[in-house]
Each structure stands twice: as structure tokens, then as C-alpha cells.
A and B are shown apart, each in its own frame.
Chain A
Amino acid sequence: GAVVSQHPSWVICKSGTSVKIECRSLDFQATTMFWYRQFPKQSLMLMATSNEGSKATYEQGVEKDKFLINHASLTLSTLTVTSAHPEDSSFYICSAVSGVGTDTQYFGPGTRLTVL
């Protein structure tokens, strides 16, 4: 089946530093990838949609300069949390779809970010 990986699975960083999270589709080419944020005991909130080779589309209220998304290839998308602060601590999850019009998203296992 379609597998999506994320790296790292957890990261701790100091306030003011930047953190990069990778999302890879291991056995398929992902034309579209999505980034979600999940707070404890809460639902997943869509942050942005990225298509290979084009700029990401951010959801309302998500700071594009804070959360930089790059989808440089059909198997890799990255989320960089810039100048991280404790309120950015969360569980970040990516998903990928394999083609235009394809409906099934395959989710990565998530990355736990803790900002001290």
C-alpha cells in the first residue's frame, strides 16, 4: 500500500530557532501533499496544500512566513517552522495523494514538535 513517512518523528528545539520537517511518499508520486496540525485531544486542522512545483496554498489564519512549505519533488514536501515559539508546539501531520482528482489521502505518522 501507499506509505508516507515523516522525519523526524519528534523534535525539541529552543525558542527562536527554525525546524524543518520532511514528508516523503515512499512508493508513489504525490502530486499534492497536505500539512495538518493537531493539538492534544483535538482534531486535525488543515494548514496548507502544496502541489509539486508550485507555491503552497495556506488556510486562513495560517502564517505563510512562519510555516514555510516546499514541495520540490513528487516524493518530498518540507515544512519549516521559522523562529519557533512555545505556542508552535504541536503534532504536525502530512498527507499525500497520488494523482489529480484522486480522493484518498495517505497520512504520515506525524512529527511531535516541542519548543522550549
Chain B
Amino acid sequence: AQSVTQPDIHITVSEGASLELRCNYSYGATPYLFWYVQSPGQGLQLLLKYFSGDTLVQGIKGFEAEFKRSQSSFNLRKPSVHWSDAAEYFCAVGTGGGNKLTFGTGTQLKVEL
């Protein structure tokens, strides 16, 4: 069965600093990988996704993620964090054609001004 691990429950960064959120997955086949952001009162928003091809994926809001098969990782990065990036971030692996999502436990990002 597939699984997703997000080792960092909470991360605090200063505004303007770089950010990396870690995600490791376990899945027997080529994974469909997603990063979502959840803000209070709003639905999960898709930041980016990886299905195949270029292992460096660009997303919305200046985020990017790199798929590393050898490390079973799909870490999310942003070169300069804005205060509005404070939210909960979820990594997910999709099976069944990508639709059936298994989520990690999330990383709560706090941004210090």
C-alpha cells in the first residue's frame, strides 16, 4: 500500500528566507505526486503535481518541487517566503490513475515577519 511521510510537523521561517518542505513516499509503481496548501476556511489548493517527464516541477505562487526517484522524495521549495504563505501544506501520492489520493500528515508553516 502507498504511504506518504512528511517528517516536519511544524516549520518556522522568516519572511524572505528560503523554504524546503520534505515529503517521502512509498509506492510500488511510478507515482503521481501532488502538493496542496490548506488555509483556514478555504479548500485545499493544488500547488503543483508530477506525473512524468521533467523531475523539477514548477507550480503556482512561486513554488517548485523536485522528484527524486532514488530517494523516494518530492520536496517542495520556494526561494523567498512571503507572510501569506503561512498555511498547512500536504504532500499526496495518487494511485488509480492519479485520482485516489493518499495524503501525508501535513506541515504547518509559520512565517515570522
Q: Is there an interface contact between B41 and A109, defined as CB atoms closer than 8 Å?
A: yes
CA distance A108 to B38 in the complex (A): 11
Residue numbers in B under 8 Å from A34 (CB-CB): 99, 101
Cross-interface CB contact of A97 among B41, B99, B106, cutoff 8 Å? B99
Q: How far is the CA of A107 from the CA of B106 in the complex (A)?
A: 16
Bitwise interface map of A from 80 to 116 toward B, beta carbon under 8 Å scored 1, else 0: 0000000000000101010001111111111000000
Residue of B nearest to A57 (CB): B100
**Tally of A-B residue pairs with Cβ under 8 A?**
51
Residues from chain B with a CB closer than 8 A to the CB of A101 are 97
A110–B54 Cα distance when bound, in Å, is 33
Q: How far is the CB of B1 from chain A (nearest CB, A)?
A: 10
For the complex, is B16 an interface residue (Cβ under 8 Å from A)? no
Specify the main secondary structure of chain A where it touches its partner.
strand
Q: Indicate whether A32 sits within 8 Å of B103 (C-beta atoms), given known contacts A104-B46, A108-B43.
A: no
B36 contacts which chain A residues (CB < 8 A)? 107
Contact bitstring B35-60, A, C-beta under 8 A = 1, else 0:
01000011111100101000000000
- Tell whether, in the assembled complex, residue B101 and residue A46 are in contact, meaning their CB atoms are under 8 Å apart: yes
C-alpha spacing A101/B44, complex, angstroms: 20
Is A43's CB under 8 angstroms from B90's CB?
A: yes
Task: Give the size category of A's interface with B.
Answer: 20 to 34
Contact with A along B73-105 (1 / 0, CB 8 A): 000000000000000001000100111111111
**B103 and A103 contacting across the interface, CB-CB below 8 Å:** no
Instruction: For A107, give its contact among B41, B44, B51 (CB under 8 Å).
Output: B44
The complex places the Cα of A105 from the Cα of B32 at a distance, in Å, of 13
* B97 surroundings in chain A (CB, below 8 A): 101, 103
State whether the Cβ of A77 lies closer than 8 Å to any Cβ in chain B.
no
Q: Which residues of A contact B45 (CB under 8 A)?
A: 107
Known A-B contacts A32-B99, A46-B101, A97-B99; A103 and B32 likewise in contact (beta carbons under 8 Å): yes
A32-B99, A44-B90, A106-B43 are known contacts; what are 9 more A-B pairs with Cβ within 8 Å? Answer: A4-B43, A44-B44, A45-B103, A95-B44, A101-B97, A105-B101, A106-B46, A107-B43, A109-B43
B interface list, Cβ under 8 A from A: 32, 36, 41-46, 49, 51, 90, 94, 97-106
